[in-house]
Amino acid sequence: MRLIVGLGNPGRRYANSRHNVGFRCVEHMAREWNVPFRERRKLAALGRGSVDGHEVVLAKPRTFMNDSGAAVAYLLTRFASTPRDLVVVYDEMDLPLGRVRLRRGGSAAGHNGVRSVIDAIASQEFPRIRMGIGKAPEGVTGMDHVLKPLRADERRVIGESVTIVEQAVRCLLDEGIETAMGRFN
């Protein structure tokens, strides 16, 4: 079973923020794969099902971004055997808006949500998919940038990119992270 977690912040206030592109991606997968979020647990909203013969759990932590590790650690013990069975999808300021990049593992690279996951599961060895949200404009803090709502033009770009992320996850499930990286990076 593969656990696919989109990182973000819970609540309507953050629903359209740049920081919630991870949620947008797993919500898109849920629609495309007909895997609705039917389970509401204390730490996450979950959808269980299969895609292309692979059993999957889609999850949106109900913790705030910087505390995502608690939810991911809980989910990992319940639904996946090793960190390599986990895929984390999240926003990345160091990538241009809408750019998608896959990694097989590694450091948090300054992303506090990913740092929380790494600390909680005591491993950096899990695949991740980063979606670019672009750098903060001059005079805007990084925190303000990630928490601001996406503009209409940005939502269109992100909308196209969530489809790419869904395709990348399918490729990862079918052919592995190396092939997915070669095809989508």
Q: What are the two backbone dihedrals, phi and then psi, of residue 128, each rounded to the nearest 5 degrees?
A: -145, 155
Spell out the alpha helix ranges (H) of the chain: 21-33, 68-79, 112-121, 142-147, 152-175, 177-184
How far is the C-alpha of 99 from the C-alpha of 131, rounded, in Å?
6
Q: How far is CA 83 from CA 38, 86, 109, 121, 148, in A?
A: 24, 5, 18, 8, 31
54 in catalytic set: no
Check if the beta carbon of residue 37 is closer than 8 Å to that of residue 82.
Answer: no
Please state, as a whole number, how many other Cβ atoms lie within 10 Å of the Cβ of residue 38. 11
8-state DSSP, 179: H
* Marked catalytic residue, from 19, 28, 54, 111: 19
Joined together, the tokens standing for residue 157 give 């770009």
Reported as type and span, the H/E element at residue 166 is helix 152-175
Catalytic center residues: 19
